[in-house]
Amino acid sequence: MGNPVVHFEVIGSDAQALQSFYKEAFDWQIEEAIANYAMAHPGGEGGINGGIGAAMGEGGAGHVTFYVEVPDLEAALSKIEGLGGSTVMEPSEVPEGPTIAMFADPEGHLVGLLKADS
């Protein structure tokens, strides 16, 4: 079993401006999900959906990241830490959504994990 990239995020200081930018630049369908966060549906064969929203907390740092689907979040985080990465966000359930976690690779790049359906 592989571990596919299943989601992407673009997070910044102005969610509305970012959503408009990507909608206009690539003709993506943007659908409001929760406050300051919308789902982006790029369409096209083989494309993945993502999210565009505001950084957490005032003045929060923006980032672009991707999410990798894994069968066991805790096991993946343990392996990642053994390889020099670090856990940034412990496994957490998204309201009405999947369970996710985040880590930083050895150079500090933020990457997400998404728990595969059982």
Domain assignments of the chain as residue spans, ordered by start: 5-115
pLDDT at 95 over 90: no
Confidence tier at 43 by pLDDT (50, 70, 90): confident
In whole numbers, what is the pLDDT of the chain averaged over residues? 90
How big, in percent rounded to 5, are the helix, strand and coil portions of the chain? 20, 45, 35
CATH number attached to the domain at 5-115? 3.10.180.10
Rounded to two decimals, what is the model's pTM?
0.80
Length of the chain equals 118
